[in-house]
Structure 1
Amino acid sequence: MKTSSTNSPVVRAFKHGDEQDRWLTQLRQNNRVEETPDVDSIFKKLKENRVDAMFSQPAVYRKKLRDLALENSVVIQDWTPNERPVPHGLILAKSRFSEKEAHQWRQLIEAMRTDGTLKRIYERYLPPSEAAKLLEK
């Protein structure tokens, strides 16, 4: 990064991927990472010019930048183009879903992946190349 005072906020306990997490470990050692409670806080700081650089996923930053009218205020670069996406999951509360119901949800999502529904949803909001990355197993 450009200067030794570069500020990079991250959501506390969020995983960005192996390579980006290694960079963040180095930045933390130099006190250049600010832990935040949620992604909205980071983008609010970006709008207030209190962020120098940050890691974010396409599905998140595209919406947040558009919502805050910041698309022309940033440069987006993929510093880890060969890294596989960080896996994400649907979290179901055990108090609300039985194991059978959770299994049915898993089957439903897999059916949506197979029949192209997830791809169509992702491509509504993301370029095809980014949608394809989200569908990688």
Structure 2
Amino acid sequence: NIEVEVNPADIRIDTYRSSGAGGQHVNTTDSAVRITHHPTGIVVTSSEKSQHQNRDIAMKALKSRLYQMELDRRNAAINDAHESKGDAGWGNQIRSYVLQPYQMVKDLRTGHETSDTKGVLDGDLDAFMAATLAQDVSGKSRAEARAED
């Protein structure tokens, strides 16, 4: 739910003579309205017959544009969060399990490996979690750690 509030100090309202159909009334009165929103640079205009009606129409148009901008910003934030998630598809494995001819489990992200395959398959993942946390704390990826060795 997005509430759009327009601070009167953030806008400039200009009135000017309209052009086009409407005859002498349009040509002699400042009935057209231009509203400029300073923080965003949005400019909206309305040129109906009545200045009061034009202010209302232009303000609704400004609020509509500000609403759309906020909606786009929120959607972009959601998309960024979604794109930063890892892909759970095939080919993005985390650990490699070798059970024949020897036994080994290796975490491909941290490089941590153990020969206790039965313990890992029974749920003993503490060593792998500790290695991942240590990597997160150091801020280094596995490739960076290998480059230092």
TM-score, scaled relative to structure 1: 0.22
TM-score, scaled relative to structure 2: 0.21
Q: Structure with the greater relative contact order (CA < 8 A, sep ≥ 6): 1 or 2?
A: 1
